[in-house]
């Protein structure tokens, strides 16, 4: 059996849903688990709804209704009558969303986030499942919260592999066509958890691992893994094959095509991963598997924006030693700060950090009690894998470099975003 994952761009409208159905018909209507993300920018819309909820903004109900109407427009184009069960199911989920927000007592943003954003995936998969039924394609819809069990770390949950494998094997028949959600799971109290932003790829990897899948295919609006973001770099090249190790390196540095955690379970069982175009299903795309690091071997460019450059030094000019560094990393963990780059000297310690949980200001205030702190917000981290002297010269031209770090295969540059 195979696992397919379709992202939000592939189901952003009725045309996209029809195309997903065509890909399934073309590639086979049985022995597959289809993992589907929220439609289009639904997750962003739900994040806005969460912000309005915490701000007690009067526009909250209107924004929920706008999102409902976005999905109703897709339903209107896919189904012949408003009496179709797809409308009932979609409205049920929106009603559940409103009920949760009206009854919730928790002030914990991360907890509320997980309970709310999950509705995007639940709604999208319900619509796709119902549309496939309308086409005569038998499928079983599964709530992924009954499949993937995690701890209670909201917005970045850790998988309980033993429970998850038991549940997946009990609920999913590998001979059938199954539809489920990406990104979501549940904890021991049956509260919804999420696996991290863009975690639908990871869901596909988890399911493939638990079912010993033949392979995983991630369907994108690009021909495969390119050596750079085509919206940023000109003349990008398709990478035909990447090793697991190389793909993990690229994901770690921030390549957006493959989620960083996705490859770990696949590598353990040597399950190949394909990144393919849903516009051209028969094209080979990119294969991630054992073997040569990268084919063709060309420089790969990764850009991460909106980061913070943080530089610490001791107040008394004493050395930066293990105790200092372990204390700092304990604070990174406490404030849910992801570190993208580290560099230290005898009396200073510099990091480039990702502030996705918006806790950097609290961290900085905490650090000021013990260290001299300098920081610059809105910086860009540019990573070049398999760099050459020529590419390095081209990429550093006219840029103000705040920090530079080399390894044998990789150079990383922290630059001012305005550059």
List, as one string, the DSSP characters of 384-413: EET--HHHHHHHHTT--EEEEEE-SSEEEE
Full DSSP string of 120-163: HHHHHHHHHHHHHHHTT---EE--GGGT-BB-S-TTSPPB-HHH
In-domain check, residue 314: yes
In-domain check, residue 256: no
- Do residues 179 and 141 touch, judged by C-beta distance below 8 A? yes
Distance CA 17, CA 79 (A): 12
- Do residues 83 and 160 touch, judged by C-beta distance below 8 A? no
CATH number for the domain including 370?
Answer: 3.30.2130.10
- Do residues 398 and 419 touch, judged by C-beta distance below 8 A? yes
Q: Where are the alpha helices (DSSP H) in 158-199?
A: 161-171
Residue 291 known to bind ligand: no
Q: Clarify whether residues 307 and 197 are in a common domain.
A: no
Residue 191 known to bind ligand: no
Instruction: Spell out the per-residue pLDDT of the chain, length 419, in tens.
Output: 999 999 999 999 999 999 999 999 999 999 999 999 999 999 999 999 999 999 999 999 999 999 999 999 999 999 999 999 999 999 999 999 999 999 999 999 999 999 999 999 999 999 999 999 999 999 999 999 999 999 999 999 999 999 999 999 999 999 999 999 999 999 999 999 999 866 899 999 999 999 999 999 999 988 999 999 988 898 999 999 999 999 988 888 888 768 778 999 999 999 999 999 999 999 999 999 998 889 999 999 999 999 999 999 988 878 888 888 999 999 999 999 999 999 988 888 999 999 988 999 999 999 999 999 999 999 999 999 999 999 999 988 888 999 999 999 999 999 987 64
In-domain check, residue 308: yes
Query: Of how many residues is the chain composed?
Result: 419
The pLDDT, as a whole number, for residue 82 is: 95
- Do residues 413 and 395 touch, judged by C-beta distance below 8 A? yes
In-domain check, residue 323: yes
CATH number for the domain including 193?
Answer: 3.40.1160.10
Q: Clarify whether residues 157 and 43 are in a common domain.
A: yes
Token pair listed for 188: 């021991």
Domain that holds residue 141: 2-213
Distance CA 42, CA 39 (A): 6
The pLDDT, as a whole number, for residue 261 is: 87
The distance of Cα 248 from the centroid of its chain, to the nearest Å, equals 14
Bridging pattern class, strands 401-406 and 410-416 = antiparallel
The pLDDT, as a whole number, for residue 387 is: 95
End-of-domain residue from the set 213, 240, 265? 213
Bridging pattern class, strands 215-220 and 2-6 = parallel
Residue 16 known to bind ligand: no
In sign, the C-alpha dihedral spanning 387, 389, 391, 395 is positive
- Helix (H, G, I), strand (E, B), or coil: what is residue 38? coil
Which residues make Cβ contacts (< 8 Å) with residue 43, sequence separation at least 6?
Answer: 8, 37, 117, 120, 197
Residue 121 known to bind ligand: yes
Bridging pattern class, strands 410-416 and 286-289 = unpaired
Strands, DSSP E only, in 7-100?
Answer: 32-36
The pLDDT, as a whole number, for residue 277 is: 95
End-of-domain residue from the set 213, 231, 262? 213
In-domain check, residue 402: yes
**Nearest in space to 271 (alpha carbons), one of 290, 284, 295:** 290
End-of-domain residue from the set 213, 248, 282? 213
Q: Clarify whether residues 152 and 42 are in a common domain.
A: yes
- Helix (H, G, I), strand (E, B), or coil: what is residue 415? strand
In-domain check, residue 111: yes
The pLDDT, as a whole number, for residue 321 is: 81
**Nearest in space to 201 (alpha carbons), one of 216, 212, 191, 189:** 216
Q: Judge residue 132's burial from the number of C-beta atoms within 10 Å of its C-beta, 0-12 exposed, 13-18 middle, 19 or more buried.
A: buried
Q: Clarify whether residues 200 and 306 are in a common domain.
A: no
Which residues make Cβ contacts (< 8 Å) with residue 328, sequence separation at least 6?
Answer: 312, 349, 367
How many separate domains does the chain show?
2
The pLDDT, as a whole number, for residue 253 is: 87
In-domain check, residue 187: yes
Q: Clarify whether residues 209 and 305 are in a common domain.
A: no
Residue 29 known to bind ligand: no
Distance CA 223, CA 376 (A): 37
Q: Clarify whether residues 112 and 9 are in a common domain.
A: yes
Residue 406 known to bind ligand: no
DSSP 8-state assignment for residue 195: -
The pLDDT, as a whole number, for residue 418 is: 60
Q: Clarify whether residues 177 and 309 are in a common domain.
A: no
Which residues make Cβ contacts (< 8 Å) with residue 85, sequence separation at least 6?
Answer: 130
Q: How many CB atoms lie within 10 A of CB 30?
A: 14
**Nearest in space to 283 (alpha carbons), one of 330, 208, 224:** 224
In-domain check, residue 24: yes
Q: Clarify whether residues 198 and 321 are in a common domain.
A: no
């Amino acid at each position: 059996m195979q696992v397919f994952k379709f992202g939000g761009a592939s189901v952003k409208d009725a045309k996209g849903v029809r195309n997903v159905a065509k890909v399934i018909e073309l590639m086979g209507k049985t022995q597959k688990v289809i993992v589907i993300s929220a439609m289009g920018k639904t997750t962003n819309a739900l994040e806005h709804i969460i912000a309005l909820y915490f701000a007690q903004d009067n526009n909250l109900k209107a924004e929920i209704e706008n999102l409902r109407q976005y999905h109703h427009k897709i339903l209107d184009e896919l189904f012949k009558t408003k009496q179709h069960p797809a409308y009932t199911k979609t409205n049920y989920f929106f009603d559940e969303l409103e009920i949760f927000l009206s009854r919730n007592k928790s002030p914990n943003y991360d907890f509320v986030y997980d309970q709310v954003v999950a509705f995007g995936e639940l709604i999208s998969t319900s619509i796709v499942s119902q549309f496939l039924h309308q086409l005569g394609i038998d499928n079983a819809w599964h709530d992924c919260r009954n499949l993937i069990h995690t701890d209670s770390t909201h917005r970045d949950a850790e998988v309980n592999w033993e429970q998850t494998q038991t549940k997946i094997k009990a609920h999913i028949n590998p001979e059938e066509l199954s539809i489920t959600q990406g990104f979501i799971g549940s904890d021991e109290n049956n509260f919804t958890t999420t696996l991290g932003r863009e975690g639908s790829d990871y869901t596909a990897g988890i399911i493939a691992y638990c079912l010993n899948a033949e392979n995983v295919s991630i369907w994108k609006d690009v021909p495969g893994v390119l050596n750079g973001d085509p919206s940023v770099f000109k003349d990008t090249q398709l990478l035909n094959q990447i090793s697991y190790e190389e793909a993990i390196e690229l994901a770690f540095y921030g390549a957006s095509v493959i989620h960083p955690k996705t490859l770990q379970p696949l590598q353990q069982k040597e399950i190949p991963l394909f990144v393919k175009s849903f516009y051209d299903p028969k094209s080979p795309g990119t294969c991630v598997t054992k073997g040569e690091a990268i084919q063709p071997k060309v420089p790969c460019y990764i850009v991460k924006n909106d980061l913070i450059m943080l530089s610490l030094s001791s107040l008394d000019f004493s050395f930066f030693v293990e105790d200092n560094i372990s204390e700092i990393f304990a604070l990174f963990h406490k404030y849910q700060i992801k570190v993208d780059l580290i560099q230290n000297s005898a009396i200073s310690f510099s990091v480039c950090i990702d502030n996705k949980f918006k806790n950097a200001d609290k961290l900085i205030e905490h650090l000021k009690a013990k260290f001299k702190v300098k920081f610059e917000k809105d910086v860009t981290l540019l990573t070049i894998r398999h760099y050459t002297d020529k590419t390095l010269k081209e990429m550093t031209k006219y840029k103000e470099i705040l920090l530079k770090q080399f390894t044998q295969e990789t150079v990383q540059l922290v630059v001012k975003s305005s550059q």
